[in-house]
Structure formats: C-alpha cells, structure tokens
Amino acid sequence: MSMNSFGHLFRVTTWGESHGPALGATVDGCPPGVPLTAEMIQVWLDKRKPGQNKYTTQRREADEVRILSGVFEGVTTGTPIQLMIENTDQRSKDYGDIVEKFRPGHADITYWTKYGIRDYRGGGRSSARETAARVAAGGVAREAIKMLAPDLKITGFMVQMGEHKADNRDMDQIDQNPFWVPDAEAAKTWADYLDGLRKSGSSVGAMIEVIAQNAPAGLGAPVYAKLDTDLSAAMMSINAVKGVEIGAGMQAAMLTGEANADEISMGPDGPVYSSNHAGGILGGISTGQDIVVRFAVKPTSSILTTRKTITKSGENTEIITKGRHDPCVGIRAVPVGEAMMACVILDHMLLHRGQIGSNQGKIG
C-alpha cells in the first residue's frame, strides 16, 4: 500500500512526524538536467516556516532543507531526490494533556480508532509539519516547470479570513503583509481581528486562492486523470482543508448557461475567452486560461477555550489545548497550496509530453 505518495509521473512521497528527528520528501520522476540547489527550495520553505510573526505558531523551526540524493553538480540526475528537514524545536511536554484525551476537531480520535496507536506529540503524522515536505517537493517542481514552461507563474493568496473578505486584487500587495492578501485595507482589518482572536485563545478559518498563469492548453486527461480531479485531490489532501473549488466552483450552481459558459472568439494568437468561470479547465483539460483553484481551511482545532471531549477509556471530560498553535491555519497554507499546484501541473506536463508530445490539435 502506498498512501503517502501522490502524482503519476512526478511522484512525491512524504515521511516523518512532528516530533521525530526529521521529516522530508522523496521526489521520483523529476526530469534530468534541471538546475537545483537547496537554496532554490529554501525560498519556498521560508515562506511557510513557523514563528515569522505573531499571527502564526511560535514554534521556531529553521526548516532548513538538505538534498541527500538525485542532484549532481547542481543539476537533477533523473534519479530519486531525497529531501530532508530536521525538526529542531519540539516541546513534547506541551502535549501531556492530550495523551489520554481527544482534541475535538483534530485527528486524535480517528487515528486512535483506526490504528490503536497514537503519537500524541504535536499530532504526530497529522501535524502540519508534514506540509513542509510538500513545500520542499513543490520547490523541485517549480524548477522543472521553469525549464518546460518558463512563463508559467503560480501565485497563492488569501481571499477571506473568517467573515472578512478581501475586496481588492492588487497582486503587488501579496508580499507586503503577513497574510498574503492582495488588499492593503483587508490586511489592516485582519491584523486587528486576528490579534483579538489570538489573545482570546480562539482561532478562525480562511479561504485561499491559487492561480497558475500562462499554463499551456492540453494538460489533463479524460476521465480519471482530469486536471481538476487531481488538483482537487491535491488541495483536499492538505491538513484542515474542507472544501475545494475550481473557477466559479460552488457559485456555478446559481448561474444560467449563458452566464456560466465562457464565450470564445479568435484572437491574433489563438482562442480568446470572454470570462473564466471554468477556472481554465474544460473536460478535465486546461484551456490555456489561468487555472484557478480555491480551498477553504477550517479554524485551528487546538484552542485555549474549554471544550467537551472524551478520554481513550470512554469517560466524558473537558480539554483546553495548550502549546504553540496557528490562530489561522490559512496563512501558512498559502505556500502549501502553491506547492501542490506546482506538483500537479508538472506531473501533467510530463504525462502530456509522454502521451502526446508535440502532436497536438491546432486551431487556425
């Protein structure tokens, strides 16, 4: 059984737990000749790493990646790339209270029910530490994409925190605030809002959008390897994600046929679409428009408010979860969503190259 891997040709396997000595990813199927250094991957890990400001968990991890194999003289060799990140700031005693109790909203109860063994330290494998390995693999995917489609750009950002939506899409703002939100006003409102929640020991959910611009037309295949199927599965596999949509997504249910179908006309360089309700994917295959995915992340379940729960032996009790937690998981989920987009897109580029090559349909 292989339940820690994803991808068809660009295949990523992640390993490791929150309080083990290290975690990482084995990346198999990366084309040879891709320039790759640890520094190139580190850029993306630095975006996800904890403790960067008061709005994320205060766990202090350098999240320094080491490449153990698959790279020689600065380029990939085509053999498995082993990436390792050491865990350096574990505090297992913070989790003493949850040895016997299940945190409501967390994976404690299901891990126990399924395996009868639970690594309670930091949530073990259910900890978001695992997402560091995905971000590292995404860094590899981004470098390979650069070789195959140099203009392709992947950008993630937050569009909603709790009930507060971002009204603007000023993409230059994304890197200017701790929430990766493309709206300077929203960043200010969210800062006050989250500060209040954090001090009260509560948490809040969020919505994240990830866009791939300049992706080639033709990625994805009917019917079980649709690009939207693989993207949805990839995003849904991120911890705390409870909803995924492509393009108009759930809103499409409220539209008429005329409002929803993006009209097509011929432009100087090929087809031009009047809108993008399809999120850049029709029939599971990319159209060449922006590929647009949104995902909803639930509020952090480890909170300082007293909650009812049960013990392993079945007694009713109460729990307050101490330790260092993210008040809004959505913030650090942004680079994770970008990494999953990069891995899925590269995977489909390789599949397309393998099956179709340059023998593609032409318009005009």
Is the bond preceding 159 in cis, omega lying within 30 degrees of 0?
no
The answer to whether the beta carbons of residues 76 and 70 sit under 8 Å apart is yes
For the chain, the helix, strand and coil percentages under 3-state DSSP, each to the nearest 5: 35, 25, 45
Q: What are phi and psi of 257, to 5 degrees?
A: -60, -40
- Applying CB under 6 A, among 26, 90, 131, 173 the residue interacting with ligand FMN is 131
Is position 299 annotated in a ligand binding site?
Answer: yes
Sequence-ordered list of residues with C-beta below 8 angstroms from that of 287, at least 6 positions apart, any chain? 217, 271, 273, 278, 280, 281
Please, are residues 171 and 155 in contact by the beta-carbon 8 Å criterion?
Answer: yes
By CB under 6 A, the residues from 48 to 67 that bind ligand FMN are 57
Q: Please identify, using beta-carbon distances, which residue of 14 and 300 lies nearer to ligand FMN.
A: 300
Q: Give dist(CA 178, CA 143) in Å, integer.
A: 25
User: Total residues contacting ligand FMN (rule CB under 6 A)?
Assistant: 20
Q: Which is nearer to ligand FMN, 14 or 302 (CB)?
A: 302
Letters for 79-118 (x = contact with ligand FMN by CB under 6 A, - = none) are ---------------------------xx-----------
Amino acid at 8: H
**Structure token pair of residue 327:** 């008040």
Are the C-beta atoms of residues 322 and 94 closer than 8 Å to each other?
Answer: yes
Q: Which is nearer to ligand FMN, 73 or 318 (CB)?
A: 318
The nearest distance, CB 107 to ligand FMN, in angstroms, is 4
Stretch that binds ligand FMN, among 161-169, 238-246, 288-296, 308-316 (CB under 6 A): 238-246
Q: Would you say 240 is a known binding-site residue?
A: yes
Question: Which one-letter amino acid corresponds to residue 72?
Answer: F
Q: Considering the complex, state which of residue 11 and residue 47 has its C-beta at the smaller distance from ligand FMN.
A: 47
1: three-class secondary structure by DSSP: coil
The CA-atom distances, in angstroms, between 5 and each of 86, 184, 237, 241, 345 are 20, 38, 11, 18, 16
Does 200 count as an annotated binding residue? no
Residue-wise burial string across 220-247, b where 16 or more C-beta atoms lie within 10 A, e elsewhere = bbeeeebbbbbbbebbeebbbbebbbbb
Does the footprint of ligand FMN cover residue 232 (CB under 6 A)? Answer: no
Q: Which of residues 247-306 bind ligand FMN (CB under 6 A)?
A: 298, 300-302
Which one among 27, 34, 85, 128 touches ligand FMN, defined by CB under 6 A?
A: 128
Query: Of residues 83, 333, 340, 351, which one binds ligand FMN by CB under 6 A?
Result: 333
87 is in an annotated binding site: no
Ligand-binding annotation for 242, yes or no, is: no
Is residue 27 within the footprint of ligand FMN (CB under 6 A)? no
Q: Tell me if 325 contacts ligand FMN by CB under 6 A.
A: yes
18 binds ligand FMN (CB under 6 A): no
Find out whether 104 is annotated in a ligand binding site.
no
**Which residues lie near ligand FMN (CB under 6 A)?**
57, 106-107, 126-128, 131, 238-240, 298, 300-302, 325-326, 329, 332-333, 336
